[in-house]
Amino acid sequence: MRTFAQSDVSRPLVRNRAVLVSSLVAVLCLSLSNFAQADSKSHTSGMLMPETESNYQPHPYGGTLAPDDGQWVRPAKDYASTRYSTLDQINTTNVQNLKLAFTFSTGLTRGHEAAPLVVNNTMYIVTPWPNKLYALDLTKPGAPMKWQYQPLPTPAAQGVACCDVVNRGASYDSGKIYYNTLDDQTVCVDANTGKEVWKTRVGDINKGESITMAPIVAKGKVLVGVSGGEFGVRGWLKALDAKTGKVAWTGYTAGPDKDVLIGPRFKPFYAQDRGQDLGVKSWPPDAWKIGGGGAWGWISYDPELNLVYYGTANPGPWDSDARPGDNKFTAGIFARDVDTGEAVWFYQYSPHDLYDYDAVNENILLDLPINGQTRKVLIHPDRNGYVYVMDRTNGEVLSASPFAPITTSKGVDLKTGLLQYVEEKKPTRGKVARGLCPTAPGAKDWQPSAFSAKTGLLYIPHNNLCMDEEDVAVNYIAGTPYVGANVVMYDAPGGYGGEFTAWDPISGKVVWTIPDHFPVWSGALATAGNVVFYGTMDGWFRAVDAVNGKKLWEFKTGSGIIGQPVTYKGPDGKQYVAILSGVGGWAGAIVAGGLDARDKSAALGFAGVMQDLPKYTNQGGMLYVFQLP
Amino acid sequence: MIYSRLLLATSLAAVATLAACNREERELRPSPSASQVVNQAQVSGLNPGANPLPTPPTPSIYEESAYAVSEGKTLFGQYNCSGCHANGGGGIGPPLMDNNWIYGSQPQNIFTTIVEGRPNGMPSFRNRIPEYQVWELVAYVRSLSGLLPKDVAPSRNDQLYVKPPEASMPKQTPTGITGEPSK
């Protein structure tokens, strides 16, 4: 009884003391961690910054682009992925008169990243999940709906989409519309009737596979790549027969050479990419089977060389301690024969990626004068912060110049092709690495840039962010996330989240840049009228002067813009500009998914830096089309 | 008189101590019967005739045990719950630290959500997570929005500081289809 009484008395005391002590410790730790967070921005010594071109003179493109019929048949406009239109009715002198032509609601509230297509006086729009396809009749006032097609992807697929349930668009070829559903089906729909021609299941959500990318159709093959670098998928690119939907070839990102389609024709430029079965040997045993490296980004095609170019995604998990080795062939670029899928060359932008630097961004195929010699190049603005100019015949890196603040590397060694990582910026288990720039979504994520033949410049929508990251051990459970990292992002120096930058690919320098409060998560569009279009996450659709970046016109849409602007010649012979509004995607998940930003690690670390986005914009998908009066 | 007063005092003290002990309780051989209440979990907030169904009992042993909640927090990472719901703020899945409960905030609702899954992307963990661990997860999930007593909810994070610990979360009033009716 006495013991009872004593313990009754002493218990609360001890507890109070414990509470006191732990509060003191907590206060100490909190202030320490707050201090450390505030200090993050000073962890940026040795930061690489982009160079600015002081005396830019417009140097029109000297090469040849594919003929332009005023239509828009694939998201990137042409196989070279320029997103450049020769239409010039809308130009720097009249663009300020642009007015609404018509609108169309998709009735959906998630992120709208797709590019509308325009073919034969019909506009085609693919929505985020449930991936409806709408055809609008441009010959009639107000562009009424011609038909809609519903593939009815399973709602469960939403659980394996890492970064909102987006879709980046369709491709048109020979009377058919081709696109992918979130639940891993490639569909072929008759462009006139909206009737399904074929539907092929190419992946399995129970393995974490999903598809968000826009396919391209080249030489009778539909090229489709998988998403799921945050789910431990084993990445692949497939070519489907455009007529039948039958899989013609599958090129895996990792695994034995025969799976990666590496054979005698494989001649990488750099020594580290040569060797037998590197897709197995550069991983711990069996880790390549769940090692990520999807192909969810953009595909370009060079008909002359008969090669397709695409980047591979990040290795999984983000916790890099789980996968010692170079993790081939993730975070790099493949050139493959479009007929057979054989790999012709490969280059790894971020060997043993430490920061989720997928290499899936667009590759713009151009012929540019480099050191006095015209080279067949591809231009690739990578997540790791560099714009790469590469010889697309052999994979040689000709230049790699920073286009955003970089602390995670010191440059690219052009002799060896190796990214020069900064050792103290490596996140590991139990240690927080701070001041990491660029962040997991990269200096630039999927949002595609545009190239103007008039100015010779590349227009890059991108991020201006840094992050802290700590890796944690993670279990692989098929169909669930396989990430293993705590991430918190914040604005990079400058105190804003994004930029729209005009970039000279020959000098490797910034010509002008327009800062934005948020990451610029929309695509870019360049036109022969010397007007460049892009959208902001708070909903402004803008036209700027291609030469000097002067804002010429803007329109506030109903939601934030993360779509891809396109332009086309209507049935009346006039030029129109179209954009989907509807915020979401990884950056906009806080609005599209209603996330709680008190947890800064929400949306894989994106929520904290986007915490004020809900004050600026709301959900809601809507097409806006503009014309001159 | 004196004797009975003493008895009363003793019993009161004993009761108080027992209640306080739940916080530290570790159920080493969990009873398998906890799921029997699940079938009684209401999934709609609409009761025809305006007579709410009786609320089924809560398997409170987990909700009052700091040990169980702490285990739940560990499991929340180990079963990759955090991969979708982050540290409560959400991402692929909805946030769990706010007051919006799409499929209900009652422990039985959350148990059903984990075991059976939900149609818009929540996987089914049926036969993949032992039942007592599901209840530990349920308790932890409720701690994220301040629904558990503060001396039970975790009061610290072991990893990168991304948000205040669960014990310092203000208690939310759940809303949504089967939110607790406002008082």
Q: Are A336 and A248 in contact (CB under 8 A)?
A: no
User: Does residue A42 lie in a domain region?
Assistant: no
Which is nearest to A529 in space by CA: A119, A85, A192?
A85
Burial class (CB in 10 A: 0-12, 13-18, 19+), A83: buried
Contact B162 A5 (CB under 8 A): no
- pLDDT > 70: what percent of chain A? 93
Contact A599 B20 (CB under 8 A): no
- For the residues of A104-163, what is the DSSP string, one character each? EE----S---PBPEEETTEEEEE-STTT-EEEEETTSTT--EEEEE-----GGGGGG-BT
Q: Are A212 and A180 in contact (CB under 8 A)?
A: yes
pLDDT of residue B160: 92
Domain that holds residue A471: 52-627
Contact B121 A4 (CB under 8 A): no
* Nearest-neighbour CA in chain B from A8: distance (Å): 7
- DSSP letter at A241? E
Interface test with A, best of B160, B163, B169, B175 (most A CBs within 10 A): B160
Contact A480 B84 (CB under 8 A): yes
Check if B125 contacts A (Cβ < 8 Å): no
Whole-angstrom distance, CA of residue A218 vs CA of residue A203:
21
Whole-angstrom distance, CA of residue B178 vs CA of residue B109:
9
SS (H, E, C) A572-601: CCCEEEEEEECCCHHHHHHHHCCCCCCCCC
Contact A474 B80 (CB under 8 A): yes
* Nearest-neighbour CA in chain B from A410: distance (Å): 26
Per-residue pLDDT band at B26 (split at 50, 70, 90): confident
Pairing label, strands A450-451, A458-463: antiparallel
pLDDT of residue A185: 98
Q: What is the mean pLDDT of chain A?
A: 94
pLDDT of residue B61: 83
- For the residues of A479-495, what is the DSSP string, one character each? TS----EEEEEEEBTTT
Residue B183 confidence (pLDDT) above 80: no
User: Does residue A456 lie in a domain region?
Assistant: yes
CA-to-CA dists, residue A424 to A44, A85, A409, A410, angstroms:
12, 45, 10, 12
Partners of residue A604 in chain B, C-beta under 8 Å:
86, 91
Closest-CA residue of A relative to B14 is A4
- For the residues of A188-207, what is the DSSP string, one character each? EEETTT--EEEEEE---GGG
| B143-168 per-position pLDDT tens digit | 999 999 999 999 988 889 999 999 99
Angle at A292 between CA A600 and CA A413, to 5 degrees: 90
Element (H, E) at A366: strand A364-370
Partners of residue B102 in chain A, C-beta under 8 Å:
none
Closest-CA residue of B relative to A603 is B91
Residues near B4 by beta carbon (within 8 Å), at least 6 away in sequence: none
pLDDT of residue A112: 98
Nearest to B121 among A11, A156, A595 (CB): A156
CA-to-CA dists, residue A435 to A426, A608, B18, angstroms:
11, 15, 49
Partners of residue A7 in chain B, C-beta under 8 Å:
17
**B66-78 vs B131-144: helix axis angle to the nearest 10?**
100
Q: Tally the C-alpha atoms within 13 A of residue A72's C-alpha that lie toward its C-beta.
A: 33
Q: What is the mean pLDDT of chain B?
A: 81
| B76-98 per-position pLDDT tens digit | 999 999 999 999 999 999 999 99
| A380-389 per-position pLDDT tens digit | 999 999 999 9
| A515-530 per-position pLDDT tens digit | 999 999 999 999 999 9
pLDDT of residue A565: 98
Contact A602 B87 (CB under 8 A): yes
pLDDT of residue A29: 38
User: Does residue A208 lie in a domain region?
Assistant: yes
User: Does residue A386 lie in a domain region?
Assistant: yes
Q: Which CATH class is domain B59-168?
A: mainly alpha
| A542-596 per-position pLDDT tens digit | 999 999 999 999 999 999 999 999 999 999 999 999 999 999 999 999 999 999 9
- DSSP letter at B170? P
Nearest to A472 among B79, B122, B159 (CB): B159
Check if A434 contacts B (Cβ < 8 Å): no
Strand, coil or helix: B25? coil
If you count residue pairs, one on A and one on B, with CB atoms under 8 Å apart, how many are there?
140
Residue A371 confidence (pLDDT) above 50: yes
| A234-264 per-position pLDDT tens digit | 999 999 999 999 999 999 999 999 999 999 9
Can you list the alpha helix ranges (DSSP code H) found in A40-100?
none
Angle at A220 between CA A217 and CA A224, to 5 degrees: 40
Check if B75 contacts A (Cβ < 8 Å): no
Partners of residue A37 in chain B, C-beta under 8 Å:
161
Check if B100 contacts A (Cβ < 8 Å): yes
Whole-angstrom distance, CA of residue A614 vs CA of residue A621:
16
Partners of residue A488 in chain B, C-beta under 8 Å:
160, 162
User: Does residue A22 lie in a domain region?
Assistant: no
Closest-CA residue of A relative to B123 is A159
Beta bridge partners of A216: A223
- What ipTM describes this predicted complex? 0.91
Contact B94 A594 (CB under 8 A): yes
Contact A602 B155 (CB under 8 A): no
User: Does residue A582 lie in a domain region?
Assistant: yes
Per-residue pLDDT band at A107 (split at 50, 70, 90): very high
Contact A599 B97 (CB under 8 A): yes
User: Does residue A14 lie in a domain region?
Assistant: no
Partners of residue B87 in chain A, C-beta under 8 Å:
486, 599, 601-602
- For the residues of B107-165, what is the DSSP string, one character each? HHHHHHHHHH-BTTTBPP-TTTS-HHHHHHHHHHHHHHTT-S-TTTS----SSS--S--
Length of chain A as a residue count: 629
> Which residues of A are annotated as catalytic?
230, 314, 356
Check if A413 contacts B (Cβ < 8 Å): no
In chain A, the number of structural domains is 1
Beta bridge partners of A99: A627
Check if A596 contacts B (Cβ < 8 Å): yes
* Nearest-neighbour CA in chain B from A597: distance (Å): 6
Element (H, E) at A240: strand A236-241
Residue A31 confidence (pLDDT) above 50: no
Contact B162 A486 (CB under 8 A): yes
- DSSP letter at A515? E
A356: alpha, beta or left, given left = phi > 0 and alpha = psi -120 to 50?
left
Whole-angstrom distance, CA of residue A100 vs CA of residue A558:
13
Whole-angstrom distance, CA of residue A429 vs CA of residue B77:
14
Closest-CA residue of B relative to A206 is B123
**B2-22 vs A2-39: helix axis angle to the nearest 10?**
30
Contact B20 A595 (CB under 8 A): no
Partners of residue A159 in chain B, C-beta under 8 Å:
84, 92-93, 120-123
pLDDT of residue B4: 59
- DSSP letter at B93? S
Closest-CA residue of B relative to A486 is B160
Per-residue pLDDT band at B6 (split at 50, 70, 90): low
- DSSP letter at A338? T
| pTM summary value | 0.91
Contact B97 A475 (CB under 8 A): no
Q: Are A349 and A384 in contact (CB under 8 A)?
A: yes
Contact A600 B162 (CB under 8 A): yes
Residues near A153 by beta carbon (within 8 Å), at least 6 away in sequence: A129, A130, A131, A181, A182, A183, A185
Burial class (CB in 10 A: 0-12, 13-18, 19+), A316: buried
Check if A115 contacts B (Cβ < 8 Å): no
Centroid of chain to Cα A269: 26
Contact A30 B161 (CB under 8 A): yes
pLDDT of residue B42: 73
Whole-angstrom distance, CA of residue A586 vs CA of residue A582:
13
Contact A472 B77 (CB under 8 A): yes
Residue B31 confidence (pLDDT) above 90: no
Nearest to A599 among B14, B83, B88 (CB): B88
Partners of residue A593 in chain B, C-beta under 8 Å:
90-91, 94
| Element counts in chain A: helices (H) and strands (E) | 6, 38
Q: Tally the C-alpha atoms within 13 A of residue A315's C-alpha that lie toward its C-beta.
A: 31
- What CATH number has the domain bearing residue A256? 2.140.10.10
Contacts 24+ apart (CB under 8 A), A53-61: A53/A504, A53/A507, A53/A509, A53/A510, A53/A511, A56/A504, A56/A511, A58/A454, A58/A455, A58/A456, A58/A547, A59/A455, A59/A456, A59/A506, A60/A453, A60/A454, A60/A455, A60/A456, A61/A366, A61/A451, A61/A452, A61/A453, A61/A454, A61/A456
A 225-264 → B contacts, CB under 8 A: 230
B 11-70 → A contacts, CB under 8 A: 13-14, 16-17, 20
Ordered by start, the domain boundaries in chain B are 59-168
Residue A11 confidence (pLDDT) above 90: no
* Nearest-neighbour CA in chain A from B13: distance (Å): 8
A 2-61 → B contacts, CB under 8 A: 4-5, 7-8, 11, 22, 26, 30, 33-34, 37
Check if B90 contacts A (Cβ < 8 Å): yes
Contact B80 A481 (CB under 8 A): yes
Q: Tally the C-alpha atoms within 13 A of residue A478's C-alpha that lie toward its C-beta.
A: 7
Partners of residue B156 in chain A, C-beta under 8 Å:
22, 26
| A200-229 per-position pLDDT tens digit | 999 999 999 999 999 999 999 999 999 999
Partners of residue A483 in chain B, C-beta under 8 Å:
83
Strand, coil or helix: A36? helix
**Could you tell me which residue, A481 or B176, shows the higher pLDDT?**
A481
pLDDT of residue B7: 59
pLDDT of residue A251: 98
Burial class (CB in 10 A: 0-12, 13-18, 19+), A509: middle
Q: A596: how many CB neighbours lie within 10 A of its CB?
A: 26
Per-residue pLDDT band at A145 (split at 50, 70, 90): very high
